[in-house]
């Protein structure tokens, strides 16, 4: 509280008015105080999705910076030990919405549960995180619209820090916000990073791209609270009925779990070029075949093999790019790989600017030679890791 005093000195009066204005500006930060970090978990038919574990890893860092708890909400039916797993991967509290109508994801029922849950809290969480998946991209904007709060989609970095807002467009928002969510995502064709902030109202929301955040190590000794929450669905929420769920079971190793990825692009020339790509991938254990967007659009290979901005984000130990030019949209999906080997007959291809090692040549000449040399290398020492073997082969070119 302050005490008003009358002063006949105009200059001093102006200073007091300015001080009062500055004090009012500082007070604006109190509209978005510290609060918990909430992760909305994603599971499909009882399988916890990897992006949820990544979100818990990122959320743990944000929560610790504010000295606040990390909470997690999971929805579904007959979830088994999934809530306990969420505790073991970093959550302090897990809220469980278990209902037979939540077994399969539907937009309106899930939206109802999340909005009811957030409205039941004494104060909204500071940050709410979802995966930038098919489900997250559908659900997150519905929640943000309901609470009229900001949402940054497809982020690749998250942080908490102060933000001094000076724009006079809306004077009520001018001031220092000490705990602002910094949601960072690529922009301008992935050539720049945009830092997006929206501290005006909690929860501050973001969806994160799968594969870019690092999950915590599972700790089975971690303790926390598991709480069931009520589910009150309305008739309007059930207008859409899920008749059946058809899941395509991909053969082989998933892209996001592979240690080695051999990817093909338009430079292969024909769809048959992927037969050669597969042969090279088969030389490694725990390997998978990747692809650029253009060949997926042409129908040369199914979408689940696509790496890049609109495909999967991967970080294998070894990434071999064959006939891929290296457009920024593809780069963003694989640039964090441990070792990037590029094979392209165009010496000016952009991919050579960021690949760790490169071979200028025709894929149909280089890849068979690489396969042959790799097999020779492996036969010399069967106990040597195959990824070490290919590094030795690459070093000879």
Rounded to the nearest angstrom, the gap between the alpha carbon of residue 213 and the centroid of all alpha carbons in its chain is: 6
Helix or strand or coil: residue 358? strand
8-state DSSP, 30: G
- β-partners of residue 264 are 291, 322
With a cut of 80, say whether residue 5 has pLDDT above it: no
pLDDT in tens, 96-131: 999 999 999 999 999 999 999 999 999 999 999 999
Q: What is the 3-state secondary structure (H, E, C) of 172-236?
A: HHCEEEEEEEEEEEEECCCCEEEEECCCCCCCEEEEECCCCCCCCCCCCCCCCEEEECCCCCCHH
Helix or strand or coil: residue 88? helix
C-alpha closest to that of 313 among 296, 295, 332 = 332
Burial class (CB in 10 A: 0-12, 13-18, 19+), 262: buried
Place of tokens 């967007």: 293
Query: Is the Cβ–Cβ distance between 337 and 314 less than 8 Å?
Result: yes
The more confident residue out of 13 and 268 is 268
pLDDT in tens, 202-232: 999 999 988 888 899 999 999 999 999 999 9
The more confident residue out of 242 and 79 is 79
Rounded to the nearest angstrom, the gap between the alpha carbon of residue 72 and the centroid of all alpha carbons in its chain is: 16
Which tokens sit at 361?
Answer: 């040549």
CATH of domain 29-238: 3.40.50.620
**Two domains, one topology: 29-238 and 255-395:** yes
Q: What percent of the chain has pLDDT over 70?
A: 85
C-alpha closest to that of 282 among 303, 314, 315, 252 = 252
> Could you give the CA distance from residue 186 to residue 230 in angstroms, rounded to a whole number?
38
pLDDT number for residue 166: 86
When the pLDDT of each residue in the chain is averaged and rounded to a whole number, the result is 86
> Could you give the CA distance from residue 43 to residue 51 in angstroms, rounded to a whole number?
10
Query: Is the Cβ–Cβ distance between 329 and 339 less than 8 Å?
Result: no
With a cut of 70, say whether residue 182 has pLDDT above it: yes
Lowest model confidence (mean pLDDT) among 241-250, 342-351, 384-393: 384-393
Domain ranges of the chain: 29-238, 255-395
Q: What percent of the chain has pLDDT over 90?
A: 61
Specify the CATH architecture of the domain 255-395. Answer: 3-Layer(aba) Sandwich (3.40)
Query: Is the Cβ–Cβ distance between 240 and 138 less than 8 Å?
Result: no
- Region 84-100 average pLDDT: 96
pLDDT number for residue 111: 97
**173: number of Cβ within 10 Å:** 16
pLDDT number for residue 120: 95
> Could you give the CA distance from residue 42 to residue 51 in angstroms, rounded to a whole number?
8
Residue 14 — pLDDT band, cuts 50, 70, 90?
A: very low
> Would you list the DSSP string of 115-180?
HHHHHHSSS--SEEEEESSHHHHHHHHHHHHHHT--EEEEESEEEEEEEEE--SSSGGG-EEEEEE
> Could you give the CA distance from residue 330 to residue 312 in angstroms, rounded to a whole number?
10
C-alpha closest to that of 290 among 333, 354, 248 = 333
The more confident residue out of 140 and 211 is 140
> Could you give the CA distance from residue 244 to residue 296 in angstroms, rounded to a whole number?
27
Instruction: Please give the backbone phi and psi of residue 247, each rounded to the nearest 5 degrees, phi first.
Output: -110, 125
pLDDT in tens, 15-47: 443 444 444 444 565 667 788 999 999 999 889
Which tokens sit at 371?
Answer: 């396969």
Lowest model confidence (mean pLDDT) among 12-21, 99-108, 160-169, 364-373: 12-21
């Amino acid at each position: 509280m302050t005490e008003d005093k009358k002063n006949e000195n105009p200059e001093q009066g102006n200073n007091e008015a300015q001080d009062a204005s500055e004090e009012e500006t500082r007070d604006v930060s109190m509209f978005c105080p510290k609060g918990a970090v909430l992760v909305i978990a994603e599971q499909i038919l009882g399988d916890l999705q990897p992006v949820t574990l990544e979100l818990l890893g990122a959320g743990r860092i944000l929560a610790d910076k504010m000295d606040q708890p990390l909470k997690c909400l999971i929805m579904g039916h007959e979830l088994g030990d999934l809530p306990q797993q969420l505790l073991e991967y970093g959550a302090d509290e897990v809220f469980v919405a278990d209902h037979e109508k939540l077994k399969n994801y539907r937009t309106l029922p899930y939206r109802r549960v999340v909005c009811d849950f957030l409205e039941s809290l004494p104060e909204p969480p500071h940050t709410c995180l979802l995966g930038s998946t098919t489900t997250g991209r559908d659900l997150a904007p519905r929640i943000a619209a309901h609470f009229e709060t900001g949402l940054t989609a497809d982020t690749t970095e998250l942080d908490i820090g102060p933000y001094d807002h000076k724009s006079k467009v809306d004077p009520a928002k001018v001031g220092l916000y000490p705990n602002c969510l910094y949601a960072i995502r690529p922009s301008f064709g992935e050539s720049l990073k945009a830092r997006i902030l929206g501290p005006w109202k909690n929860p501050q929301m973001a969806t994160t791209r799968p594969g870019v955040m690092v999950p915590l190590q599972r700790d089975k000794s971690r303790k926390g609270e598991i709480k069931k929450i009520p589910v009150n669905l309305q008739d309007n929420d059930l207008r859409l009925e899920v008749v059946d769920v058809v899941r395509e079971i991909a053969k082989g190793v998933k892209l996001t779990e592979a240690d080695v990825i051999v990817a093909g692009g338009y430079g292969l020339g024909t769809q048959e070029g992927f037969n050669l790509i597969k042969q090279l991938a088969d030389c490694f254990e725990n390997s998978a075949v990747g692809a650029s967007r253009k060949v997926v659009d042409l129908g040369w290979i199914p979408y689940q093999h696509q790496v890049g901005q609109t495909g999967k984000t991967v970080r294998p130990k070894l990434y071999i790019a064959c006939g891929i030019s290296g457009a920024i949209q593809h780069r963003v999906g694989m640039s964090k790989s441990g070792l990037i080997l590029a094979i392209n007959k165009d010496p000016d291809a952009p991919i050579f600017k960021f690949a760790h090692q490169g071979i200028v040549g025709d894929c149909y000449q280089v890849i068979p030679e690489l396969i042959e040399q790799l097999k020779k290398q492996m036969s010399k020492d069967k106990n040597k890791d195959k990824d070490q073997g290919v590094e030795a082969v690459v070093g000879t070119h």
